[in-house]
Amino acid sequence: MTYTVSINADPERSVPFIDLVPQHREIAADVMSAVERVFSEQKFILGDEVVALENEIAAYCDADHAIGCNSGTDALIIALQALGIGPGDEVITTPFSFFATASSICRAGATPVFVDIEPDTFNLDPNRVEDAVTPRTKAIMPVHLYGQCCEMDPLQRIATQHNLAIVEDAAQAIGAEYRGRRAGVLGTIGCFSFFPTKNLGGAGDGGMMTTDDPELAARMKRLRVHGDVGGYEHVEIGMNSRLDALQAAVLRVKLQHLDHWSVRRQHHAKRYGELFRQTGVLDLIAPPRVRADRRHVYNQYCVRVREGHRDAVLQGLKSRKVGCAVYYPKPLHLQTCFKSLGYTPGDFPHAEAACHDVLALPSYPELPAIDQQRVVDCLADICQELRGVQRRRLAA
């Protein structure tokens, strides 16, 4: 499919980074019916509604078990605790991710060990992982960033060789695929977030863990309810991380539409690429690279802005009332709270470069074509201005 630049975008039109209202309008009747069902039953914590969602998510991911919890962050913590990971242990992960990736490791009592990323996919570089393995390493935590799965086969070989678990941080990647298999079944445990802006977003916080291991599933179910096996018999110390029935009801409605919404996101990504070519911005704007064996679900559509111009493009879009954001402006190894780990600037150059270059553009299933055209028109204007500045500098 090709696209032509034929839409006359209003030069004063503002474009939100994300707008959840159009999606809700499409499914409002079904969502409100599900919410009313929960209210009529007055069963708000766990229960049949949560069990039904767990079964549906397990089937969607092709996992044997799915266990709901309070958030994607809690999913990571509970997964690590279920694996027996704690003080004295190390978990290898990426420095280019949302804070919860590394904080969950610390909350479990273990130590995050960072490894640099692939510059084209922004995901953990498997070629660097084995060198980071020590006798204290107990797990690898790859992040399927922005909705594209990590290169998992090499990670699985390393994990098998060194007897390590793999905890997938799939918070941004429900429905993403690696060589025909869904995120959530590519490791020992998969962890998802249902934060409202995720591809499958609730009406608040929520999370889910998936696994094929029945013993791990049973332990994660215990850990989300204070380690209780029933009858106020606590066999270990867990946490209060139960998924609300209201969230489960909303998510069950939305899950029926998830693949359709993912196709829309892919459509927008393809259209961005075509519009970039037609407007001649590819010398400064590099679209995301998708590996041939992946299904990218574009929780974020992130480009790289070349030649150190990211902040100028960011401010240019904002001044034109076009929503945009940086995911993420500071790598985890340089966060103040991780200073004791001993990392310094330059340790992970690809992650640090991504923090300076990456920019997320508006992308959600209901994004109007006229808004997408407006985004690219603004980018073209900004790039032209930047080229003019460069020419003047060279001529000076």
Of the pLDDT bands very low, low, confident and very high (cuts 50, 70, 90), residue 354 is: very high
- Mean pLDDT in residue range 198-224: 97
Grade residue 307 by pLDDT with cuts at 50, 70 and 90: confident
pLDDT for 42 beyond 50:
yes
**What local confidence, expressed as pLDDT, does residue 1 receive?**
38
State the average pLDDT over residues 46-73.
97
Distance CA 273, CA 286 (A): 9
Neighbours of 359 (CB within 10 A): 22
Which residues are within 8 A (CB) of 250 and not within 5 positions of it... i.e. 6 or more apart?
Answer: 31, 34, 35, 202, 203
pLDDT higher than threshold 70 for residue 92: yes
In angstroms, rounded to a whole number, what is the distance separating the alpha carbons of residues 124 and 119? 9
C-alpha closest to that of 160 among 119, 200, 132, 130: 130
Q: Residue 10 falls within a domain, yes or no? A: no
Residue 87 scores a pLDDT above 50: yes
- The whole-number pLDDT of residue 9 equals 56
Q: For residue 14, is it within any domain?
A: no
Q: In angstroms, what CA-CA distances link 352 with 104, 239, 356?
A: 21, 35, 7
The residue out of 200, 226, 255 marking a domain boundary is 255
DSSP 71: -
- Describe the strand order of the beta sheet including 111-114 as a list of residue ranges: 65-69, 207-211, 189-193, 165-169, 137-141, 90-93, 111-114
Model confidence pLDDT, tens digit, residues 129-174: 999 999 999 999 999 999 999 999 999 999 999 999 999 999 999 9
- Do 65 and 160 fall into the same domain? yes
Whether this prediction's pTM lies above 0.85 is answered by: yes
**200 and 106 within one domain:** yes
191/82 Cα distance (integer angstroms): 13
Do 213 and 286 belong together in one domain?
A: no
Same-domain check for residues 195 and 279: no
Same domain membership, residue 289 and residue 333: yes
DSSP characters over 181-238: EETTSSSSEEEEE--TTSSS--SS--EEEEES-HHHHHHHHHHTBTTB-STT-BSS--
Domain-ending residue, one of 226, 255, 284: 255
Across 287-315, average pLDDT = 96
Q: State the average pLDDT for the chain.
A: 95
Residue identified by tokens 């110390």 is 237
Asked whether 136 and 88 are in contact (CB, 8 A), the reply is: yes
What are the residues facing 359 on neighbouring strands? 303
Q: In what order do the strands lie in the sheet with 177-178?
A: 181-182, 177-178, 294-295
Confidence (pLDDT) at 389: 73
Q: How many domains would you assign to the chain?
A: 2
330 residue type, one letter:
K
The whole-number average pLDDT for the span 41-50 is 93
Give the end of a domain, one of 240, 255, 270: 255
Residue 5: predicted pLDDT = 43
Task: Say if 105 falls within a structural domain.
Answer: yes
> What is the pLDDT averaged over residues 218-246?
95
* Inside any domain, residue 79: yes
Domain containing residue 233: CATH number: 3.40.640.10
Question: Is 19 a domain residue?
Answer: no
The answer to whether residues 276 and 263 touch, using CB atoms and an 8 Å cutoff, is: no
Q: Is position 1 within any domain? A: no
Please check whether residue 92 lies inside any domain of the structure.
Answer: yes
Task: Please tell me whether residues 328 and 196 are part of one structural domain.
Answer: no
Pair (309, 344) in one structural domain: yes
Q: Mean pLDDT over residues 274-290, rounded? A: 95
- Which range of residues forms the domain containing residue 341? 258-395
Rounded CA gap, 362 and 17, in Å?
4
The stretch 315-329 carries a mean pLDDT of: 97
Give 96-117 pLDDT, tens digit per residue. 999 999 999 999 999 999 999 9
Distances (CA, A) of 201 to 59, 157, 220, 237, 344: 18, 33, 22, 29, 36
Q: Which residue has the higher pLDDT, 389 or 35?
A: 35
Q: Is the pLDDT assigned to residue 280 strictly greater than 80?
A: yes
Task: Report the b/e string of 46-79 with b at 16+ CB within 10 A.
Answer: bbebbeebbebbbebbebebbbbbbbbbbbbbbb
Neighbours of 87 (CB within 10 A): 8
CATH number at residue 357: 3.90.1150.10
pLDDT given at position 2: 39
Cα 37 from chain centroid (whole Å): 31
Between vectors from CA 378 to CA 326 and to CA 366, what angle results, nearest 5°? 70
Dihedral of alpha carbons 98, 74, 243, 59, sign:
positive
- The verdict on 221 and 306 lying in the same domain is no
The pLDDT assigned to 159 comes to 98
Closest C-alpha among 167, 91, 182 to residue 129: 91
Cα-based distances in Å from 154 to 140, 166, 186, 319, 366: 12, 12, 12, 44, 36
Angle at alpha carbon of residue 206, lines to 202 and 210, rounded to 5°: 115
* Structure confidence by residue, pLDDT tens digits, 4-14: 444 555 667 89
If asked whether residues 251 and 262 sit together in one domain, one would say no
Terminal CA-to-CA distance of the chain, rounded, Å?
A: 44
